[in-house]
Chains A and B, each alone.
Chain A
Amino acid sequence: MSDPAWLLTVGEVLVSLAMLVGASFTLIGSIALVKLPDLMMRLHGPAKTSTLGVGGFVVAAILDALFFQEGASLHELLIIVFIFMTTPISAYMIAKAHVFRTRGRTVQPLPPTGRPVGWATMDGSDAFRADDLMVKDRGGLPAAEAAPKGVTHDNRAASQ
C-alpha cells in the first residue's frame, strides 16, 4: 500500500461510521418491531432496517473496497437500488392488507385523505359497502351521498 497513512485513517473512520449507521438503524428497527403496539407502526421498523440499515452496510462495503481492496466496486449499489425498490412495495402491500382486513374493527377510524377521493384500499371495490369511515371521509362532497352505492358513482363524478 502506497497510500499515505492519513488516507487509511480517514478510510477506517468512514467505513466505521457507515457500519455504525447501518447497525444503529438495524437495532432501532428491531426494537421497533418488538416494542411498538400497532402493525402500522411496527411496519416502520423492518422497513428502516432493510433500507437504511442494509444501505449503511453496503456503503461500508463500497468504502472498504475503495480504501483497502483493489478499488471501488459498484455492484453493491445495485443491491441498494433493488432494496429501495422492493422494500417500499412490500411495506405498502402489508399496510394495505392490514387496512383492509381490519376495516370496521379498528378503534381509530382512518384519517381523512384530504382529497376528493378516499383511501385507495377501501375505494373502488364493489364489495365494499359504504362504510361509515368513507362516508365521514367524503363529508365535503355534495350529491349522491345518499345513494347506497354512492362510492362508485361519486368516483365517476369526481373523475369527469
Chain B
Amino acid sequence: MLLSAIVILPFAAALLIPVIARAGAGASLCLGGLSTVMALVALLAQAPLVFQDGLVVERHAWVPKAGLDLAFFVDPLGLLMAGLILVIGLLVMIYARFYFGPKEAFGRFMARLALFQGSMLGIVIADNLLLLVIFWEMTSLSSFLLIGYWSHRADSRRGARNALVITSAGGLALLASALLIGHVAGTFQLTTILGQPDVVAQSALYLPILILVLFGCFTKSAQLPFQFWLPGAMAAPTPVSAYLHSATMVKAGLFLMARLWPILAGSEAWFLIVTTVGLLTMVVGAWIAIFKTDLKAILAYSTVSHLGMIAMLLGLGTKLAAVAAIFHLLNHALFKAALFLSAGIVEHETGTRDINRLGGLWRAMPITATLSTLAALAMAGVPLLNGFLSKEMMLEAAVHADYLGVAWLVPLLATVGSAFSVLYAFRFVGRVFFMGSGRPPGELAHDPGPGLWLPVACLIIPVVAIGVMPGLVAQDLVAQAGSAIIGEDPPVFELAIWHGWTQAFQLTLVAMVAGLLGLWVLRWLERLHAGLWHPSGEQIFGKLLDAGSCVVAWLTGRLQNGSLQFYLAVFCLTGLALGITAFWGGDLSAGTRPLMPLSPLGIIGWLVVLAASGFAVVAHQNRLLALIAAGLAGLMVALAFVAFSAPDLALTQLSVEVVTVVLLLLALNYLPKTTPRLRPLRRFGVNAPIALLAGAGVGAALYALLRRDVNSISAFYTAMALPAGGGANVVNVILVDFRGYDTLGEITVLAIAALVIYSLLQSALRGAAARRLTEWPSSAQAGDSHPLLLVVLTRLLLPMALLVGLYIFLRGHQAPGGGFIAGLIVGIALILQYMASGYAWASRRLPTDYHGLVAVGVLVALLTGSVAMLVGRPFLTGGFMHLHLPYLGSIELASATAFDLGVFLTVVGVVLLVLAGLSRMARLAEPSGETGPLTIALDRGENQPHRRTEDVGHAPIFGSSFARDAADPTAKEPD
C-alpha cells in the first residue's frame, strides 16, 4: 500500500488544491507540501528494506487482459530518483510560494506541479512498462501545462507546444517499444524483464526496440537533434525550469536508459548511437551555452550538455561508466536546480535575466552570490564540490573508452566539453555577480527573504557535503543505485577527492586550465561564434510542423470536401460493397418464413410513407415543406410500430418526432427558407443509381433477414426480463438493466451532443455569424405571437402533461413507457410553454441550469451503476424489490428506476438546452422580440405594443401583476 501511496498522494493533492485554492497561497502550499512530505515518509519507510533486499514490490491488477497492472517497485535507483523528485519538489514548492506575486493563480500552479510530481514518481517506481509509458505521457501533458503557465505569452505557448509535440512523439515511440518488449519477453513486468536480460538482447527485434526506446529517451532528455525544446521551455516560470528542466523530467529519459541498461546496453549499436549522440550533445550544448546572454538560456544549454554527458556515460556500456552516470545525475540535479533557483532570484530582484545588463551583484546580494557561486563552481567541476567528483569519474570512464578503434576521441571530446563547462560556469557567475558594478538594475536589488534563498541553500548543502566527504555521504547510495542499474554488484570504486596523479585528474586539470584560458580569449571566441552558422532547431521544427499541417490540410480537404453528396455516395457505396460481399458468400434464396397477409391499413400507411418520402425528395428545396413531409413519414413509422405491437417504440418515435420537428422548425427560422438550387442533374446520372442501389440493397437485406428464423438473443431477454430484471416490459428492462451500459453511453452521447449544439449556437452569437443574424431581414411577422387561446390552454395542459410524464415514467418497468419517453413528454410539455408564452416568461418560471440538469442526469445514472460496485457486484448490476403502499398499490423499487431517472433528467435537460441555444440566437436575430414563437428580449424601451395585449388579454384571468410580470421588458434569460 505504501508504494502506491507515494504515487497517489501527489495526485490527490492535485485534485484537492483547486478546491482549497481560494483559501490562499499558504493553504495550497501546505497541501502540496504535506502530500510531498507524506510521500517522502512513505518512501523512506521503504529504504531499509530496499537496501537490505534490493527491491520492494507492490502489485494490483488493473487491466489484466492487456497486461497492465498497477505495479510498483522500489530499488535503490528508484529510491534515489524518487527521493530527488520529492525533496527538490518540496524545495521548489516553497520557493514558488515566494516567487509568485500575490496576483498569480498560485493554486493552479501548485495543482499542476503536484500533477507533474505524481506522474514523475510513477515513472521512476512503475513496475509495468505500460504503466510507465502512461506516466511518461502524463509528465509530457503536465509539463505542457506548466511551461504554458503564463498562457498569455506567445513564447510560453510556443515553448509548451514544442515540448509537448516532441516529448509526446517520443512517448508514442516508447509505447511502441514497450509493446515490442512485452511481445518479446512475454510480460510487461519490468522486474521480470530485467531479470532475463538476454531475452531482449538476443531477439530479432532488438534493433527496433533499441531505436524506439532511444527515440523516446532522447526526446525527453533533450539530446541532439531534439535539444531545442528545452531552451524553448525556458519561457516557463523559473521554479518549473528548476524542477522539470534540470532535476526531474529531463532526467526521465536518462533514467529509462539506466533502467533498461541491463537489457539494452552492451551492444555495438547501443554504444555507437548513445555515445555519439551523448558526446555531440555534450560538446554542442556546452559550446552554445558559452555565448548565450540570457541566464536561463545559459543554464538550459548547460543542462543539455550535462544530459549529453550522462547519456554518453550510459552509452559507454562499462559498469564504472554506469555508476558515474548515476552519480552525475544526482550531482547535476542538485547544483543545476540551485542555479536555476538563483537565476530566478536574480530576475525576481533585478527584473532582468540578461547578463549584459547585470553585474556586480555580489555587494547587493551576498547570500545569493555565495550560493550561486558554489553551485556554478560545482558545475565547473572545482574540487571540494560534488561536480568535481563525478566529472573526474566521467573522465576516468572516458579514458578507457575505445571509439571504433580511436582511443583518443572520447577523452578528447569529453575534455573539451568539460573545458566549455568551466568556461560558461565562470562566465555565468562572473558576469552576474563580480564583474562590472552597480549598473542600473543592480542598484535596487538586495537579497530576498529566506523563503527564496533557503531552498537554494538546502540544495547547496549536499553539493558541498558530497564534495567534501564523498565516501561518507554518497558512496553507499551511489554504489547501491549503480548495482541496481547494472543488475549485479558494481565494480569496486571509491568516491574520494584524491585518487592520485591519474589520467583523469590530469584531464580535469587540462579542462580547468583550458576553460580559464577560454575566459581570457572570450571576446575572440564570441567573434568566432558570430561568424559561424547557427541553425535554429526551433525554426526548422516550426517549418516541419507547417509543412505537416499543409499536407494534412490538403489530405483533409480531399477527403472532407464539404459535399454531402460525396460523403453519402462514399457511405452508400461502402455499405453496398460490404453487403454484396456478404451476399456473395451466403445463401441467396428468399428464405422460408411464410409471408404475412397484407392489411388494407398497412397498404395505406405504406403508401403514405412512400408519398411523404417522395414529396420530400421533390420539394426538398422548400425546407419547411420537406420537414413536414419528413415528420409525416415519421408519424407513419410510429403507427407501424403500433401495428406490429411495439408500443414502446411507437411512443418513443412519436415523441422524438414531435421534438425534432419543433426544434428543427425553430432552427430553420434562421436559415434560408429554401436550399440553393443544385446544378441541375449534373451528377444525376451518377448519384441516382447509387441511391437506388443502396435503397434496393437495404430492402433486399431486410427481406432476406425477415424471411429467416434468426436465432437471436431476444428469446433470452424475453424469458429473463421478469425473473432477472424484475420488469414485465422487456424493452425497458433491456434498456435500463440488461444493456444499461449501452444506455449510459447513449445518454452520455446525447448530453455531449446537446452541449455541442449549444456551443456551436453560441459561436453564432459572435463575429460574422452574429452580424448576419443582427442584419437578419425581418420579414413581416404576424402580431399576437402569444395567442390567448394557446396561452390559456397550454397552461391548463401543463400539469396534465407532467402527470402523464410521471405516469409513463413510473410504469415504465412494467408497461410501455420509461425514462426516455417520459423525458421527451415532459420536454414537449415544457417546449409548449416556451412556444405559447415566450421564452422569457417560461424560463423565469423554470429557473433551472440546463447544463446542470444534463450533468445531473448522467451523474445519477452513473452513480446508480456505481452503487452495485460498493456491494461488490459489477458496475450497473441491478436490484429490485416490491413495495406495497396503501392506495397506490404495489410499487416496484428497482435500482433501474433510479437509472431511468438519470435518463429522464438527461433527456429533459437536452431538449431544454437545445431550446435555450436556439432562443439565444432568436434574441440576436430579432431583438424586437414578440415576432416568433419565442419571445425573448422584450427590450424595446417603453414602446411596448404587446404590453397592451398582455394587459387586455390576461389581466382578467391571471391578475394584473402576473400579466405585467409576463411582459417585463427587462426580462432576462437565466443562463
Q: Of A10-18, A35-43, A64-72, A125-133, which binds chain B? A: A125-133
Comparing B197-205, B387-395, B759-767, B775-783, the segment that makes contact with chain A is B775-783
Q: Is A20 an interface residue (CB 8 A)?
A: no
Asked if A156 and B782 sit within 8 Å, CB to CB, the answer is: no
Residues in B916-975 with C-beta less than 8 Å from chain A: 928, 930-931, 942-949, 951-952
Bound together, the chains give a CA A149 to CA B82 distance in angstroms of 80
A40–B931 CA distance with the chains assembled, in angstroms:
24
Return 6 A-B CB contacts under 8 Å, by A number. Answer: A85-B797, A124-B784, A124-B948, A127-B781, A156-B948, A159-B951
Contact bitstring A90-109, B, C-beta under 8 A = 1, else 0: 00110011011000000000
The verdict on A123 contacting chain B, using a C-beta distance below 8 Å, is yes
Report whether B779 and A156 are in contact in the complex, using a CB–CB cutoff of 8 Å: no
Contact of B784 among A85, A96, A158 (CB under 8 A): A96
User: B947 and A120: CB pair below 8 A?
Assistant: no
Instruction: Look across to chain A and name the residue whose beta carbon is closest to the beta carbon of B930.
Output: A124
Smallest CB separation, A13 vs chain B (Å): 31
The answer to whether A124 touches B779, judged by C-beta atoms less than 8 angstroms apart, is no
Distance in Å from the Cβ of B665 to the closest Cβ of chain A? 13
A156 touching B943 in the complex, CB below 8 Å, given contacts A121-B784, A123-B783: yes
Question: Cβ of A122 < 8 Å from any Cβ of B?
Answer: yes
Rounded to whole angstroms, the CA-CA distance of A159 and B931 in the bound complex is 20
Which of A88, A100, A159 sits near B789, CB closer than 8 Å? Answer: A88
- Identify 17 new A-B residue pairs, CB closer than 8 A, beyond the known A88-B789, A96-B782, A125-B931: A89-B789, A92-B790, A93-B790, A99-B782, A100-B780, A117-B948, A121-B782, A123-B945, A124-B783, A124-B949, A125-B780, A125-B782, A126-B928, A126-B931, A155-B945, A156-B942, A156-B944
A120 touches B787 (CB 8 A): yes
Contact between B952 and A117, CB atoms less than 8 A apart: yes
Give the residue among B779, B782, B930 with the most A Cβ atoms within 10 A.
B782
Most chain A CB within 10 A, of B931, B947, B948, is at B948
A24 within 8 A of B: no
Contact A100 B948, CB 8 Å, known A89-B789, A92-B789: no
Interface residues of A in 55-85 (CB under 8 A from B): 85
A117 to B928, CA, bound (A): 21
Q: How far is the CB of A117 from chain B (nearest CB, A)?
A: 7
- The reply to whether the CB of B793 lies closer than 8 angstroms to some CB of chain A is yes
Whole-angstrom distance between the alpha carbons of A74 and B548 in the complex? 72
**Number of chain A residues whose Cβ lies closer than 8 Å to a Cβ of chain B:** 26
User: With A89-B790, A152-B945, A156-B945 in contact, is A100–B951 under 8 Å at CB?
Assistant: no
Residues of chain A with a CB closer than 8 A to B783's CB? 120-125, 128
Most central of A122, A123, A124 by chain B CB within 10 Å: A124
**Which residue of chain B has its CB nearest to the CB of A97?**
B782
| Interface flag for A151 (CB, 8 Å) | yes
Task: Return chain A residues, CB-CB under 8 Å to B944.
Answer: 156
**Interfacial residues of chain B within 480-514, with CB under 8 A of chain A in the complex:** none
B781/A85 in contact, CB under 8 A:
no
- Residue-wise interface mask of B (17-56) relative to A, using a CB-CB cutoff of 8 A (1 in contact, 0 not): 0000000000000000000000000000000000000000
Q: Mark A122-151, 1 if CB is under 8 A from B, else 0.
A: 111111100000000000000000000001
* In the complex with contacts A85-B797, A92-B789, A156-B945, A120-B780 CB distance below 8 A: no
Q: Which chain B residue lies CB-closest to A153?
A: B943
Taken together as a complex, chains A and B put the C-alpha atoms of A97 and B784 apart, in Å, by 11
Complexed CA–CA distance, A129 and B796 (Å): 35
A-side contacts of B778, CB under 8 Å: 126-127
B826 to chain A, nearest CB (A): 17
Contact B787 A96, beta carbon cutoff 8 Å: yes
**CB neighbours of A152 from chain B (8 A):** 943, 945
Residues of B within 8 A of A88 (CB): 789
Are A156 and B793 also in contact (CB < 8 A) when A97-B782, A120-B787 are? no
Q: Is B787 a contact partner of A123 (Cβ separation < 8 A)?
A: no
Cα A125 to Cα B779 with chains together (Å)? 11
CB distance from B773 to the nearest CB of A (A): 17
- Which residue of chain B has the shortest Cβ distance to A101 in the bound complex? B782
A124-B789 contact in complex given A97-B782, A117-B952, A159-B951, C-beta closer than 8 Å: no
Contacting residues, chain B, for A126 (C-beta < 8 A) = 778, 781, 928, 931, 945
By a CB distance below 8 angstroms, the chain B residues around A117 are 948, 952
Q: Which residue of B lies closest to A96 (CB)?
A: B782
Check A128–B948 contact: CB distance below 8 A: no
Query: Does the CB pair A125–B948 fall under 8 Å?
Result: no
Residue of B783, B797, B947, B951 most packed against chain A (CB within 10 A): B783
Q: What separation, in Å, do the CA atoms of A102 and B928 have in the docked complex?
A: 24
Taking the closest CB of chain A, its distance from the CB of B800, in whole angstroms, is: 9
Distance in Å from the Cβ of A102 to the closest Cβ of chain B?
A: 12
Docked pose: A143 CA to B930 CA in angstroms: 26
Task: Please report the C-alpha to C-alpha distance between residue A127 and residue B945 in the assembled complex, in whole angstroms.
Answer: 12
Residues of A within 8 A of B787 (CB): 89, 92-93, 96, 120
Residue of A nearest to B928 (CB): A126
Chain B, Cβ-Cβ closest to A115: B952
CB distance from A64 to the nearest CB of B (A): 22
Identity of the chain A residue whose Cβ is nearest the Cβ of B793 in the assembled complex: A85
**Chain B positions within 8 Å of A124 at CB level:** 783-784, 930, 945-946, 948-949
Please report the C-alpha to C-alpha distance between residue A43 and residue B468 in the assembled complex, in whole angstroms. Answer: 105
Contact across chains for A125 and B789 when beta carbons are under 8 A apart: no
Q: Which residue on A lies nearest to B778, using beta carbons?
A: A127
Cα distance A89–B790 in the bound complex, in angstroms: 6
* Closest beta carbon of chain B to A71's beta carbon, Å: 20
Give the interface centre of A89, A126, A158 by most chain B CB atoms within 10 Å: A126
B780 touches A159 (CB 8 A): no
CA distance A97 to B780 in the complex (A): 12
Chain A residue with Cβ nearest B796: A85
* Chain A residues whose C-beta falls within 8 Å of the C-beta of B948 in the assembled complex: 117, 124, 155-156, 158-159
Q: How far is the CA of A122 from the CA of B785 in the complex (A)?
A: 11
CA–CA, A96 to B931, complex, Å? Answer: 14
**CB nearest neighbor in B for A159:** B948
- Among B945, B947, B949: residue with most chain A CB under 10 A: B945
With a CB–CB cut-off of 8 A, which chain A residues contact B943? Answer: 152-153, 156
Kindly name the residue among B784, B787, B942, B951 whose own CB sees the greatest number of chain A CB atoms within 10 A. Answer: B784
Chain B contacts for A125, CB-based, 8 A? 780-783, 930-931, 945
**With A and B bound together, what is the CA distance between A88 and B792 in angstroms?**
12
Q: Are B784 and A123 in contact (CB under 8 A)?
A: yes
Query: Interface code B720-753, partner A: CB below 8 Å = 1, 0 otherwise?
Result: 0000000000000000000000000000000000
